[in-house]
Structure 1
Amino acid sequence: MISQQSVVQEIEKQLQQAKQAQTEADLKASLTAIQALCNVALHYTAQTKPNLLSHTITPPAVAQPKLEEDDANGDSLFDF
């Protein structure tokens, strides 16, 4: 596993190379490397964050007495 400190050091190295770039191609290469290193660092940070899922406790449902109607045929919603 790559430490974040080593990624930051490599970003600093690439930044120095970008500052000293003689051509636009060299500058673009250094900036692309910095972008890739930032993506690696961000991806690593996102994966190592602990999942903090909030668990809500739902109280048990209170049993209600069964409704009895004289003209009902049964328990089903579709019984008429």
Structure 2
Amino acid sequence: MISNEQLLMQIDKHLKHARNNGNEQSVRESLVAIKALCDVGLEVQIPSQAPIARSGQTTSTILPTQPLALKEEDANGESLFDF
């Protein structure tokens, strides 16, 4: 398992590289690497705690259920093709 300290050291390394390099492409590559490392850190789950939802995302559990039939007064059956 990757520790947060290892992730932070790698993020710091890429941040220093981005600050010291004036090349736009190299800076973008460092920023992409930092983003990937942050994603890895946020995806790692601590066994004793529930997963943390990132901002902008909702967590929901979808359970298999029976499909609900529409009840219409003038319908002849449960099929879409029953008129």
Give the TM-score taking structure 1 as reference length: 0.57
Which residue in the other structure is 1:10 paired with? 10
Larger % of helix: which? 1
Q: Measure, in 2, the Cα distance between the counterparts of 1:39 and 1:29.
A: 15
Alignment of 1:1-80 (within 5 A): 1-44=1-44, 47-48=45-46, 50-51=49-50
Equivalent pairs counted in the alignment come to: 49
Alpha-carbon offset, residue 18 of structure 1: 0.4
In the alignment, structure 1 segments of 5+ residues that lack a partner are 52-80
The structure showing larger relative contact order (alpha-carbon pairs under 8 Å, at least 6 residues apart) is: 1
Q: Measure, in 2, the Cα distance between the counterparts of 1:50 and 1:38.
A: 19
Q: Cα deviation per residue 1:15-72 (whole Å; 9 max; x = unaligned)?
A: 000001131100000000000000011111xx21523xxxxxxxxxxxxxxxxxxxxx
The percent of aligned pairs where both chains have the same amino acid is 37
Q: Measure, in 2, the Cα distance between the counterparts of 1:50 and 1:33.
A: 27
AA aligned to 1:50 is Q
- What do you get for the CA RMSD once the two structures are aligned? 1.1
SS at 2:49's partner residue? coil
AA aligned to 1:20 is N
In the alignment, structure 2 segments of 5+ residues that lack a partner are 51-83
